[in-house]
Amino acid sequence: MSLLDIQNLTVTFPTPRGPVNVVDGVSLALGQERLGIVGESGSGKSMTGRAILGLVRPPGKVRADRMLFEGQELQGLSDRAMRKIRGARISMVMQDPKFSLNPVMTVGRQIEEALRTHESLPRRALKARVVEMLDAVRIHDPERVMRLYPHEVSGGMGQRIMIAMMLIPRPRILIADEPTSALDVSVQGQVLDLIDELVRENGMGLMLVSHDLHLVGRYCDRVMVMNAGRVVETLDAKNLHAAQHPYTKGLLAAVPRMNETRDELPVLDRSKWAST
Amino acid sequence: MGFDMSAIHLKDLNIFYGDTQVVHDVTLDVAPGESFALVGESGSGKSTILKAIMGLAPDWTGTIEVDGKPRSHGPDRAFSRQCQMVFQDPYGSLHPRKTIDATLAEPLLIHGLKNRDARVVELLGEVGLDARFRFRFPHQLSGGQRQRVAIARALALEPKFLLLDEPTSALDVSIQAEILNLLKRLRKERGLTYLMVTHNLPVVAFMCDRLAVMRHGRIEEIASAEALKTGALATPYARELYRLSNPEETAEEQP
């Protein structure tokens, strides 16, 4: 059974010119695998992730023919029931640790809180789990780091702390929304390797949302390309370079290469697809 | 260096923010008409160098010469005619309550230039923006369109030098391609000199003739774009950046 089975997901927002489908009939299935969702700004890739977690705020509306998580329908769940899934069974790492960590709470307490919200454990066991988790995200002196505040840690360490916080309740699915775009290249690889390793070790499903086709191609098994709320094509990551759809090909070609010889970069003809 | 006079000449440049020194002994020369990149990670001091040249980071020692003339420490009106800057974030660098027309006319007004009306229309055309954008506000434009406006504003005084601070890192790849093509074309047409800050090495390979790799406020290495493209960088740190930026190709070389 797949972890996630979504059929015909639509997210609609009202605008002065009538309702707009920012996600428009997306279907996907996620097993114990790494699925990449790629697209440009406004393609609906982040909204897809948020809709799964029930994080689309009114006036936005989410509809789907089905949205099953381990066979359970997510639509129509009470807030209370949804809170038991969100964070505990499906969790999400966002782009910038600077904005997603609580600035007035120590790192240790935040990670602890993430666990305490979903499990009741004795104090000592709680602390042991936090230390173990920090160790798993390669923070070598967990005792010291636990006492730090978010402004005292670097971006890369902040993102590792976020990952620790998201994985400590042992979720089945991790949604990572641009987890490294706020980080330097030297740290990006480490953070992605870490996510990759933890996801494999724990037999989780990963949904990696990014604008970076090459990065997604490297870290995922399958890649889903989105444009204007629709899935343009889904392909195996290893076949990314053999993409068929002109939009995917256009995106791949528009990225400068290290051994660049082109005098001009090819530009997408936006008139062929919905303009963003 | 091999040229008679550098377009931009920095010698033993040290830049401070309060008691903290963020740039140490930077010496480099950019030739007239050259496109030169400063690359490095966050905190390496690359943007600070641009700010010091523009007079936005006034606490420095050493020499900054642009077009053979020593640069003072603060804003300088005559200098603004020669050298302009384009910032990273097109959402932050345009005044939200000024129309595109007002934004583009302002530098012309400050410098008492005539024919403002015609110049604004001309500027829009040069950066590939339709004239219908003229009386819109920044929030009515996309990120790529805003960055075109920021480039048009930088060109308004017909400078010879442009300082570009991560001009495309806030943009989608397809928009990045459009802006890079535009910058490349403008440089060719107008014989501009670029000093560009970026962390993206493939962008350097596309846009620049030479690059300086910076780390902790110092220059590690100055290399040609050819050396970058072939991976023939000399210092271990520069090679490491190259490897991290180019995982597909380098992965195959490792057993």
Report how far apart, in Å, the C-alpha atoms of A84 and of each of A53, A79, A81 are: 11, 9, 5
Residue B243 belongs to domain spanning: 8-76+84-93+162-253
B109 within domain boundaries: no
Which one of B206, B209, B211, B228 makes the best mutation probe of the A interface by having the most chain A beta carbons within 10 Å?
A: B206
CB of A185 within 8 Å of a chain B CB? The answer is yes
Q: How confident is the model at residue A206 (pLDDT cuts 50, 70, 90)?
A: very high
What dihedral angle (degrees, nearest 10) is formed by the CA atoms of B157, B162, B163, B165?
A: 90
8 Å CB contact of B174 and A262: no
| pLDDT tens-digit readout, A39-89 | 988 899 999 999 999 999 999 999 999 999 999 999 989 999 998 899 889
d(CA A59, CA A78): 18
Q: How confident is the model at residue A273 (pLDDT cuts 50, 70, 90)?
A: low
Q: Positive or negative CA dihedral for B217, B218, B224, B230?
A: negative
Which one of A187, A247, A260, A272 makes the best mutation probe of the B interface by having the most chain B beta carbons within 10 Å?
A: A260
8 Å CB contact of B205 and A257: yes
| pLDDT tens-digit readout, A114-165 | 999 888 889 999 999 999 889 888 888 899 999 999 999 888 888 889 999 9
Q: Positive or negative CA dihedral for A36, A42, A46, A50?
A: negative
Residue of higher predicted confidence among A184 and A207: A207
Residue A191 confidence (pLDDT): 85
8 Å CB contact of A260 and B202: yes
- Residue/partner pairs of B123-131 with CB below 8 Å, 24 or more apart: B123/B152, B123/B153, B123/B155, B123/B156, B124/B100, B124/B152, B126/B152, B126/B155, B126/B186, B127/B151, B127/B152, B127/B155, B127/B182, B127/B186, B128/B178, B128/B182, B129/B100
Residue A139 confidence (pLDDT): 86
8 Å CB contact of A262 and B247: no
Contact A192, A219 (CB under 8 A): yes
Residue B32 confidence (pLDDT): 95
B114 within domain boundaries: no
| pLDDT tens-digit readout, B90-137 | 888 999 999 999 999 999 999 999 899 999 999 999 998 988 999 999
8 Å CB contact of B174 and A267: yes
8 Å CB contact of B199 and A276: no
Residue A272 confidence (pLDDT): 57
Across residues A268-273, what is the average pLDDT?
Answer: 64
Which one of B140, B172, B203, B209 makes the best mutation probe of the A interface by having the most chain A beta carbons within 10 Å?
A: B172
CB of A274 within 8 Å of a chain B CB? The answer is no
Which of B204, B203, B237 has its CA nearest to residue B221? B237
B149 within domain boundaries: no
Which one of B173, B176, B198, B246 makes the best mutation probe of the A interface by having the most chain A beta carbons within 10 Å?
A: B173
**Domains assigned to chain A:** 4-256 (3.40.50.300)
Which residue is closest to A248 within chain B, CA to CA?
Answer: B174
B224 within domain boundaries: yes
d(CA A50, CA B52): 42
8 Å CB contact of B173 and A254: yes
Contact B10, B169 (CB under 8 A): no
State the smallest CA–CA distance between residue B219 and chain A in angstroms: 18
Q: Which residues in chain B are closer than 8 Å to A189, comparing Cβ atoms?
A: 244, 247
- The pTM (predicted TM-score) of the whole model is 0.85
Q: How many C-beta neighbours within 10 Å does residue A126 have? A: 18
| pLDDT tens-digit readout, B197-233 | 999 999 999 999 999 999 999 999 999 999 999 999 9
d(CA B78, CA B11): 22
CATH number at residue B193: 3.40.50.300
Q: Which residues in chain A are closer than 8 Å to B252, comparing Cβ atoms?
A: none
Q: Which residues in chain B are closer than 8 Å to A251, comparing Cβ atoms?
A: 173-174
Contact A89, A173 (CB under 8 A): yes
d(CA B233, CA B212): 11
Across residues B57-84, what is the average pLDDT?
Answer: 92
B136 within domain boundaries: no
Q: Which residues in chain A are closer than 8 Å to B181, comparing Cβ atoms?
A: 264-265, 267
Residue of higher predicted confidence among A269 and B113: B113
d(CA B26, CA B241): 20
Which residue is closest to B226 within chain A, CA to CA?
Answer: A259
Please give the tally of structural domains in chain B: 1
Q: Poorest-confidence range of A150-159, A257-266, B244-253?
A: B244-253
Contact A253, A262 (CB under 8 A): no
From the centroid of its chain, how far is CA B7? Answer: 14
Q: Which helix (H) or strand (E) holds B210?
A: strand B210-215
B179 within domain boundaries: yes
8 Å CB contact of A185 and B181: no
Q: Which residues in chain A are closer than 8 Å to B248, comparing Cβ atoms?
A: 214, 218
Q: Does pLDDT of B191 surpass 70?
A: yes
CB of A41 within 8 Å of a chain B CB? The answer is yes
B176 within domain boundaries: yes
